[in-house]
Amino acid sequence: MITVDEKLIVTKQINEVLCRYAKRNLIKEFLFSFSFPNCSKDNTKLKPKNINPLLETIYYYQGEIYPDTLEEVERYINAFLSELDENDLTALQFFTLNENYLNHIDEFENEDDSEYTKEEFEEKLGRYFAQKLYEPEENGLNEEVQELLQNQISRLVNEIDLSVLNKESISEILHVIDIMTD
């Protein structure tokens, strides 16, 4: 990060790099490992029996994560997040803030009715985002990351057909993951 006069400055380019890294690497890794738990990334050794039964269940629920699957999904997400180093987790947090950007602007505007100049507004909004990044537990950012990962699972399931499990199912899952993370 760039600092000027003890202010953290996140440039548009830095934000884009972090978000691209999170999407192309971390989200891709997450979706692959969720779809094929305990499998290496060697696509030639994947078999239909390697497809996560939880993914199949969510498929039959049409992408919804109901209470009977929520605990297991949360456990998997928490295990994935706990294995990330601080830099990867930060990149995922940036990606989450970027994905929820409009919601955060609405939340920020609802919290603070004051009138600002454009520069003041951008500075206050920047501080709002910085506070989320510096205190992710207290400001709900960690929960947003978990929700984002749940939504990625639902999105994946809505794009694939698991009615019959075969080698084409594996190819389809891998293809959709590539499309989602490109």
What local confidence, expressed as pLDDT, does residue 120 receive? Answer: 84
Which one has a higher pLDDT value, 44 or 168?
168
What local confidence, expressed as pLDDT, does residue 121 receive? Answer: 81
DSSP classification of residue 4: E
| Helix residue ranges per DSSP H, 112-180 | 118-134, 141-159, 167-180
d(CA 135, CA 147): 17
Is residue 142's pLDDT more than 70?
Answer: yes
Average pLDDT, rounded, for the chain? 90
**Mean pLDDT, range 71-99, rounded to an integer:** 96
Rounded to two decimals, the pTM is 0.88
What local confidence, expressed as pLDDT, does residue 2 receive? Answer: 44
Is residue 42's pLDDT more than 80?
Answer: no
